[in-house]
Homo-oligomer: A and B are copies of this chain.
């Protein structure tokens, strides 16, 4: 059985939008031992969508199409499918009810244009969309399963997981055994990660791949056959030995999620003082539900007046050392720690660029300071990259400090028990 992905939309062919859906679908399928054979992209023209569907359906057992299910005139996927497989569009009552229910839940009237989204090719099964107005549909043509999903990634992925994957696993109950694991690594560059893993060695038959999302390196381990699971488990152990505590998480746990989980588990409370990151550290931590268990406050002290008034940084420190200095970072951390009465106070100040650098303190100069019930530590960094990258590296380093502090507390408790 061969699987093809078809992404649909002019925006993918005129450079307005990079296609992330293909990789996201492929990754989810891979997690279920379902490899993708081919991917294609066409624009919004009905006859070309229809031609691509026919071509892929001729050479594949499964086609997963995304995009072109919206309410507007340039959304033509349902019409193209109707034409390709000679299943004239008709109003699908179930789809119509779902769209109406979605609007009702939002407390709004259904826009007449959204009626169009309930026009589906004959004899299709509706794929419910819990997160938006565009229903998907599932069409069987001869022996080919075609799934049509909206292009909005959040909606598409939910429908893929809720409907398409179970449907595929029902059709192919015994996919070739394949086991994959993705490990999240922070604090080592990709070549160093590869060198350490290669030097340590992996079990034979395990594929190793890397995927870098600066400053994070994802290490992928993959094995096939009846021992796949065992091989990948052993490989994970080997990678953990090779990379030590640079391994942050497994199978999608982000640095922020891991940090939040460990802070909660350790019962540690936190107050932040952010200058150059401008709220990014708090934003990343509060992306996680339940962050209120540990985060008491964050002060984004962008101006010196805020540093003085909210964080009690003295004018003398600002005059003598400047706002980007170890002394200022330390005073900010101490200020927020004392005011908030938390277990940890953490502060960052630096020059994210593009302007504001000097010979002595070039763009990318960042100071981190952490004061806690247990210790105090201040460090100067020089991060590379543009403004976004400097801010992200700073935030990730701060999260990593918190993660390590929480791990130390947890292992201390474990020893005491």
A180 within 8 A of B: yes
Q: Is B278 within 8 A of A280, CB to CB?
A: no
Given contacts A105-B384, A278-B286, contact A73 B15 (CB under 8 A): no
List, in ascending order, chain B residues with CB within 8 A of A341's CB: 305
- Return A407 CB to nearest CB of chain B, in Å: 23
A88 within 8 A of B: no
Complex-state Cα separation, A131 to B194, whole angstroms: 21
A306 within 8 A of B: yes
A310 within 8 A of B: yes
Q: Is A113 within 8 A of B305, CB to CB?
A: no
A40 within 8 A of B: yes
Q: Mark A333-367, 1 if CB is under 8 A from B, else 0.
A: 00000011100000000000111000000000000
Report the copy number of this chain in the oligomer: 2
List, in ascending order, chain B residues with CB within 8 A of A22's CB: 12-13, 18-19, 41
A94 within 8 A of B: no
Q: Mark A295-332, 1 if CB is under 8 A from B, else 0.
A: 11111111101100110000000000000000000000
List, in ascending order, chain B residues with CB within 8 A of A233's CB: none
- Return A238 CB to nearest CB of chain B, in Å: 17
Q: How large is the interface on A (under 10, 10 to 19, 20 to 34, 35 or more residues)?
A: 35 or more
Q: Is A14 within 8 A of B30, CB to CB?
A: yes
A258 within 8 A of B: no
Complex-state Cα separation, A180 to B154, whole angstroms: 28
- Return A379 CB to nearest CB of chain B, in Å: 15
List, in ascending order, chain B residues with CB within 8 A of A195's CB: 111, 113
List, in ascending order, chain B residues with CB within 8 A of A26's CB: 12-15
A254 within 8 A of B: no
Q: Is B387 within 8 A of A309, CB to CB?
A: no
Given contacts A310-B299, A386-B131, contact A283 B279 (CB under 8 A): yes
List, in ascending order, chain B residues with CB within 8 A of A212's CB: 70, 152
Given contacts A292-B303, A303-B292, contact A23 B27 (CB under 8 A): no
A245 within 8 A of B: no
List, in ascending order, chain B residues with CB within 8 A of A303's CB: 292, 295-297
Nearest first, the 9 A-B pairs at minimum CB distance are A15-B27, A278-B286, A279-B279, A279-B282, A297-B306, A298-B300, A15-B26, A18-B23, A39-B41
